[in-house]
Structures are given as structure tokens and as C-alpha cells.
């Protein structure tokens, strides 16, 4: 299947150059990740048409929004997109309801108010409708901004660091709403951030940007565990697995979750059987054994295959493993790696000491 | 007490100021919008030209206008060619001169208001399907309301108060170009201080009331600063 979002941009500002050639999936959240100045926001603005790349080709679901060779450039207001800015950027002269209606008044009357009502409920802003933006907290403003963008029933949702201007408490107030969008939205979301936490929590696809270029892009777990991008070397390196709750062992305060190629025991999760979960496994919580440990306190022991090793020149070795189809990272000491004689394609057992649930 | 001639000059002044202000808003709004947003090399020159009436003695501006609008001037030849005669010492000439004289008082507050709004609300409107013109009316105008109020009131009151340009271009013709400030001058020339007092008092009270209203209203207006 070919990806329905095709993005090719070249832009030269002298000191900064953007050169991007990407094709992205038509559903789920794609996170554009990178340091400030890596070009991720510029890329998003080019997709929105807020900035115009001198050379560019942009196609969304078969519709060409820009093709510099044929002189096609759809102005922003003609692109069926939703955009959430870093600052909520609400209109201060309109109430929350007025802000939500602003775009709706300008599109054909096909959209129905039931949609808007659903969005208002999804983001928990029903009690704010009559207020002016000045009377809202930062987190509330951002939720209204997200609802305002979604109200138009866009073909793609673009979000530019929507949490960056909020303090930690507000972030935690909004993240659950974003996770909910994740399961409820059928449209693709492009999400710009420099926060690893947001990547782990939201991304399905990850695009890593550096100096105006795409360093790597692909499914989240694959990107997280690639040894040639800096994520895997990070102290907080982790991989995220998609799993489903399969049973609760209430006697032990444990929950069993299954993923494509096995099962894990987690501390009791307050979620019904069948609920999808994102389970984050930190590389530092994964240890490696050559034989199946028979007597160990660790519950989660899984057979795995070593697929790569990287030395950080600081006494630590990053091991990339494959558990069935799932990639996994382990941070172990260089000494252990040498003593175990680890090498690619070697069959081993991984012991997972701790996990965290992201939603 | 105010004489009937005084009332005529008040009425004429009001007419000149109203028409001039309307024209200044129509011309000044796009000009201010352009000045607030352009990075063109012309910006500096146009800014300086617009601000010139602020520093030039009104008689200098009036003198050049008189010459240019006269039968041998550029504007005069043009208006003659149009078949409407020359503008000096006519009501139309007075309006043209007033517009040129007071336009910085309209352009500058508008330009400042537009600059304060910045790019963000415009971009938000664009992502919500509003065309640039739509955005101007639905977002820029409400956010720049204090700027528009200031522009209208300063433009109007400044036109009411002009004297030098009027005298050069319009002269002192009753019911055609004799405005309040000229009438006050006439009274003083005739040593008629009591009539001058009445008319001057009317202008003073009018100007103060209008400005007081403006600043009271401005205090309660939300500004683009609060945009979050």
C-alpha cells in the first residue's frame, strides 16, 4: 500500500535549509521530532501553506496542495486541514463558542452540529462555551484550540508543539485528551514536538529531523530502537509496545497483557479486558541472559534475538533485540556484553524488570 | 452669543471634517495595512511622506497645495482637464487639503494597531478557511477597533482645528470655506473678543468631550495584546 501523504520540500533561507522527502501513513499520529532549529515546525508550516517552499510537492489523499513545477499552490484557507498552534491563538474578541463556529461558518453546510457536540464533549469544554479566551487557563485554551481545528472535519490535523507553552501540570491535563483523539480520530495527525515523553505517549510513526533534513522515519518502535539515531543512546531510551489487556490476576495485583508475539505481566491496571494499552519499556530495565532463567524473581522473561549492538564509549552497550516482531532495546554494561559474547542473530532471553503504562 | 454666521461656520466645519474623515478612512486603511506589513524599500519613504504634515508648518503645506492646485499647477491642469475648474478657494479644495493635512492622524494609529495584531491571528483565520479579505473584516477590524476609533476621532478633531492650510487654500469665503478657526480669527481681528470667546469655548468643550469619550472607551476595549 502506498502512503497517502507525500511531502517533498526544498527551501533555502541561507542560514537554514530544509530538504525533505517523505511519504506518511494516512492514519494515526505521526510525530515530527527534533531539536529546535531542526526544521520540524517549518515543515509543518509548509504543509499548511503558511510558509511557501520554493520547490515543493505536497499531496494529501490524492489531492495536490502544492506542485511548484506546475505552479500549483493552494492558499492555506483553501486547504481542508486543522491546525493547532503552539499558543492556542484563539480570537480574543470571540467567545469559546464563537471561536468554534468561526471555521464552521465558512465551510459548506455539510457538517452537522452533532459532530461539534461530540468534539466539545471529547475535549471536555462544554462548560466553557460562553467564556472569552481571556478567562480560560492555558490548558483550557489549548483544548478549545484543538476542538476549533477538529470542528471543520479536516482531512489532516497539524499540531505544532501544542503542549510546549504549558507547565507540567497542564500537560498532564491535556495528554489524556490527545490519547483519546488517537483512538477516536480517523484522520492522520502530524504532531511536532521535542519531548520524548510525548513521542512515547502519542506516536505511531516517528520522523526524526535534524538540520532541516529527515534523519530517519518509520514506525515508532523501529525508530526508537534504531542504533544509528540518537534516541537509542539516550539515558531514557525506551521502546513502546502496543498491547491489549487479557486478564487480571487480582490476587497478585497483576494484569496480563498480550501483544503480537507474547504476553507481559504488569502491575494491576484499572482497565477492562480488551483495552488497548501502550506499554513503555525502558532500555535500562531490560537485562539479558543466555539461557532461560529458571529461578528468578522477574516475571517477564521472553525469548529474543539480538539484532544489533552499539557501544557508547562510556562503558555501556546498547543492544537491539527482536521479540517476535517487536523491537526492544537493552542498556547493559560493556563488560556484560563481552562476557556473554553477544553478537547479531544470537538467541537470548530478555528479562524485563519494569514497565510503565502510557495511557 | 453665537451669531447665525457663527452657526454657519460651525456647520461648514462639521461638513468638511466629516467628509474628510470618511475619505481619510477609505484611503488611510489600506495604506496603513500596507505600511504595517510590507518589507518593501518604499516603506521608509512613504512613512516619511505620510508623516510630513506633522512637522511642516501648515502654511508651507497650504502654499504648495495652492500652487499645485492653481491653474498652472499639476493638479490644477488635471482638474481643468476634467472640466471641474481649479480647486483653490472651493469647498472641494478645502476637503482635499484637509485630507492631506490630517492623514497622518489616521494612518499612524491604524498602522500601530495593525502591527500590534501581528501574524498569528491572521494565520489562525487562514487555517479556519477565512480568505485574506474575510480575515480583515472578521478578525483584523474587531481587534484593531481601538485603532479605528482613535483614527476617526483624531482625524476628525484635527480637521476641525486646522487653520493655516485653510487660510492658504480655502481663504475666507462665507458658507464655502470659512470654517470655525477662521471665524475666530475674524472676530479677534475685529476686536470682537466676546464672540471669539463663545466660538473658542464651543471648540474647546467639543474637543475635550470627544477626547475624554475616546480615552474612556479605549480603556474598556480589549486589545490584541491579550491575544492568547
Q: Are residues A272 and A259 located together in one domain of the fold?
A: yes
Residue B226 has pLDDT above 70, yes or no: no
* Domains of chain A: total: 2
Q: Are residues A304 and A349 located together in one domain of the fold?
A: yes
Which CATH superfamily does the domain covering B4-221 fall into?
MetI-like (1.10.3720.10)
Q: Are residues A102 and A172 located together in one domain of the fold?
A: yes
Chain B within 8 Å of A108 (Cβ-Cβ)? no
What is the C-alpha to C-alpha distance for residues A317 and A284, in angstroms, rounded to an integer? 11
Residues found in chain A: 359
Chain A within 8 Å of B120 (Cβ-Cβ)? yes
Q: What is the pLDDT of residue A295?
A: 83
Q: What is the pLDDT of residue A183?
A: 76
Contacts of B138 in chain A (CB under 8 A): 102
Q: Are residues A243 and A228 located together in one domain of the fold?
A: no
- What percentage of chain A has pLDDT greater than the value 90? 58
Q: Does ipTM come in above 0.95? A: no
Q: Which residues share a beta bridge with A329?
A: A320
Q: Give me B149's grid cell.
A: 476609533
Contacts of A87 in chain B (CB under 8 A): 120, 228
Q: Give me A273's grid cell.
A: 479486558
At B38, the pLDDT band (50, 70, 90 cuts) reads: very high
* Least confident piece of the model among A6-20, A232-246, B122-136: A232-246
**What digits encode the pLDDT tens for the residues B187-207?**
999 999 999 999 999 999 999
CA distances from B198 to A186, B7, B183, B205 (A): 75, 11, 11, 11
Residues 6+ away with beta carbon under 8 Å from B149: B214, B217, B218, B221
Closest CB to A141: pick one of B134, B224, B228: B228
Chain B within 8 Å of A349 (Cβ-Cβ)? no
State mean pLDDT over A199-225: 91
Residue B224 has pLDDT above 50, yes or no: no
At B225, the pLDDT band (50, 70, 90 cuts) reads: very low
Q: Are residues A165 and A265 located together in one domain of the fold?
A: no
Chain B within 8 Å of A93 (Cβ-Cβ)? yes
Q: Are residues A100 and A65 located together in one domain of the fold?
A: yes
At A116, the pLDDT band (50, 70, 90 cuts) reads: confident
Q: Are residues A27 and A146 located together in one domain of the fold?
A: yes
Residue to test with chain A: of B116, B122, B128, B144, most A Cβ within 10 A: B128
Domain boundaries, chain B: 4-221
Q: Are residues A111 and A257 located together in one domain of the fold?
A: no
Q: Are residues A25 and A124 located together in one domain of the fold?
A: yes
What's the 3-state SS for A251-269?
Answer: HHCEEEEEECCEEEEEECC
What is the C-alpha to C-alpha distance for residues B148 and B208, in angstroms, rounded to an integer? 19
CA-CA-CA-CA torsion sign (B189, B190, B193, B199): negative
CATH of the domain at A138: 3.40.50.300
Which of A233, A250, A277 is at the close of a domain? Answer: A233
Residue to test with chain B: of A80, A89, A142, A162, most B Cβ within 10 A: A89
Contacts of B143 in chain A (CB under 8 A): 91-93
Searching chain B, which residue's CA lies closest to the CA of residue A90? B228
* Least confident piece of the model among A113-122, A285-294, B86-95: A113-122
What is the C-alpha to C-alpha distance for residues A184 and A198, in angstroms, rounded to an integer? 18
Of residues A184, A150, A160, the one with CA closest to residue A88: A160
Q: Are residues A156 and A286 located together in one domain of the fold?
A: no
CATH of the domain at A295: 2.40.50.100
Searching chain B, which residue's CA lies closest to the CA of residue A85? B124
Q: Which residues share a beta bridge with A286?
A: A352
At A179, the pLDDT band (50, 70, 90 cuts) reads: confident
Searching chain B, which residue's CA lies closest to the CA of residue A48? B127
Rounded to the nearest angstrom, the minimum Cα separation between A217 and chain B is 27
Q: β-pairing, A276-282 with A356-357?
A: antiparallel
What is the C-alpha to C-alpha distance for residues B59 and B167, in angstroms, rounded to an integer? 8
Tell me the DSSP string of B19-54: HHHHHHHHHHHHHHHHHHH---THHHHHHHHHHHHH
Phi-psi region of A61 (alpha: psi -120 to 50; beta: other; left: phi over 0): left
Domain hosting residue A128, numbered range? 5-233
Higher pLDDT among residues A357 and A266, named by residue:
A266
Do A77 and B227 lie within an 8 Å CB cutoff?
no
Which of A192, A207, A233 is at the close of a domain? Answer: A233
Rounded to the nearest angstrom, the minimum Cα separation between A319 and chain B is 44
Residue to test with chain A: of B113, B118, B129, B226, most A Cβ within 10 A: B129
Q: Are residues A201 and A317 located together in one domain of the fold?
A: no
Q: What is the pLDDT of residue B227?
A: 42
At A113, the pLDDT band (50, 70, 90 cuts) reads: low
Residue to test with chain A: of B116, B117, B122, B124, most A Cβ within 10 A: B124
Residues 6+ away with beta carbon under 8 Å from B87: B69, B75, B76, B79, B93, B96, B169
Do B124 and A134 lie within an 8 Å CB cutoff?
no
Do B125 and A152 lie within an 8 Å CB cutoff?
no
Q: Are residues A296 and A213 located together in one domain of the fold?
A: no
Q: β-pairing, A300-311 with A72-73?
A: unpaired
Q: What is the pLDDT of residue A242?
A: 86
Rounded to the nearest angstrom, the minimum Cα separation between B127 and chain A is 6
Chain A within 8 Å of B123 (Cβ-Cβ)? yes
Which of A215, A233, A251 is at the close of a domain? Answer: A233
Q: Give me A109's grid cell.
A: 453546510
Amino acid at each position: 500500500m502506498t502512503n497517502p501523504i507525500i511531502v517533498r520540500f526544498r527551501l533555502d533561507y541561507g542560514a537554514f535549509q530544509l530538504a525533505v522527502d517523505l511519504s506518511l501513513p494516512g492514519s494515526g499520529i505521526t510525530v515530527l521530532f527534533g531539536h529546535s532549529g531542526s526544521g520540524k515546525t517549518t515543515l509543518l508550516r509548509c504543509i499548511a501553506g503558511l510558509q511557501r517552499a520554493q520547490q515543493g510537492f505536497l499531496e494529501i489523499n490524492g489531492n495536490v496542495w502544492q506542485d511548484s513545477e506546475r505552479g500549483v499552490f493552494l492558499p492555506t484557507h483553501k486547504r481542508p486541514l486543522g491546525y493547532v498552534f503552539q499558543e492556542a491563538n484563539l480570537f480574543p474578541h470571540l467567545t469559546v463558542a464563537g471561536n468554534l463556529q468561526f471555521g464552521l461558518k465558512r465551510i459548506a453546510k455539510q457538517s452537522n452540529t452533532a459532530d461539534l457536540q461530540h468534539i466539545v464533549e471529547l475535549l471536555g469544554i462544554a462548560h466553557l462555551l460562553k467564556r472569552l479566551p481571556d478567562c480560560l487557563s492555558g490548558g483550557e485554551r489549548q483544548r478549545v484550540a484543538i476542538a476549533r481545528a477538529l470542528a471543520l472535519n479536516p482531512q489532516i490535523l497539524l499540531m505544532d508543539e501544542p503542549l510546549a507553552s504549558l507547565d507540567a501540570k497542564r500537560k498532564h491535563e491535556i495528554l489524556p485528551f490527545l490519547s483519546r483523539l488517537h483512538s477516536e480520530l480517523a484522520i492522520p495527525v502530524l504532531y511536532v514536538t521535542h519531548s520524548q515523553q510525548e513521542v512515547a505517549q502519542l506516536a505511531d510513526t516517528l520522523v526524526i529531523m535534524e538540520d532541516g533534513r529527515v534523519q530517519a522515519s518509520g514506525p515508532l518502535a523501529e525508530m526508537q530502537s534504531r542504533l544509528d539515531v540518537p534516541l537509542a543512546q539516550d539515558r531514557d531510551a525506551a521502546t513502546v509496545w502496543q498491547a491489549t489487556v487479557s486478564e487480571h490476576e487480582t490476587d497478585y495485583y497483576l494484569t496480563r497483557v498480550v501483544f503480537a508475539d507474547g504476553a507481559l505481566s504488569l502491575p494491576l491496571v484499572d482497565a477492562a479486558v480488551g483495552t488497548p494499552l501502550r506499554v513503555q519499556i525502558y532500555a535500562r530495565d531490560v537485562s539479558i541472559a543466555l539461557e532461560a532463567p529458571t529461578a528468578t524473581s522477574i516475571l517477564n522473561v521472553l525469548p529474543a534475538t539480538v539484532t544489533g549492538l552499539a557501544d557508547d564509549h562510556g562503558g555501556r552497550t546498547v543492544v537491539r533485540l527482536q521479540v517476535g516482531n517487536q523491537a526492544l532495546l537493552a542498556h547493559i554494561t560493556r563488560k556484560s556484553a563481552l562476557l556473554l559474547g553477544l553478537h547479531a542473530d544470537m538467541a537470548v532471553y530478555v528479562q524485563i524488570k519494569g514497565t510503565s503504562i502510557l495511557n | 452669543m453665537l451669531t447665525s454666521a457663527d452657526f454657519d461656520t460651525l456647520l461648514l466645519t462639521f461638513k468638511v471634517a466629516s467628509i474628510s474623515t470618511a475619505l481619510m478612512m477609505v484611503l488611510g486603511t489600506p495604506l496603513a495595512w500596507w505600511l504595517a506589513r510590507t518589507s518593501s524599500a518604499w516603506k521608509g519613504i512613504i512613512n516619511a511622506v505620510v508623516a510630513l504634515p506633522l512637522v511642516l508648518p501648515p502654511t508651507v503645506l497650504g502654499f504648495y497645495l495652492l500652487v499645485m492646485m492653481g491653474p498652472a499647477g499639476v493638479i490644477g491642469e488635471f482638474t481643468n482637464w476634467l472640466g471641474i475648474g481649479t480647486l483653490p478657494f472651493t469647498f472641494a479644495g478645502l476637503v482635499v487639503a484637509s485630507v492631506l493635512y490630517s492623514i497622518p492622524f489616521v494612518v499612524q494609529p491604524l498602522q500601530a494597531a495593525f502591527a500590534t495584531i501581528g501574524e498569528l491571528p491572521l494565520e489562525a483565520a487562514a487555517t479556519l478557511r477565512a480568505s485574506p479579505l474575510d480575515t480583515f473584516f472578521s478578525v483584523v477590524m474587531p481587534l484593531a477597533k481601538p485603532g479605528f476609533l482613535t483614527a476617526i476621532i483624531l482625524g476628525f478633531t484635527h480637521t476641525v482645528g486646522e487653520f493655516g492650510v485653510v487660510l492658504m487654500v480655502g481663504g475666507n469665503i462665507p458658507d464655502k470655506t470659512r470654517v470655525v478657526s477662521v471665524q475666530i480669527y475674524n472676530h479677534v481681528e475685529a476686536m470682537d473678543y466676546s464672540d471669539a470667546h463663545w466660538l473658542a469655548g464651543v471648540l474647546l468643550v467639543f474637543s475635550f468631550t470627544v477626547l475624554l469619550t475616546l480615552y474612556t472607551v479605549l480603556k474598556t476595549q480589549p486589545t490584541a495584546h491579550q491575544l492568547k
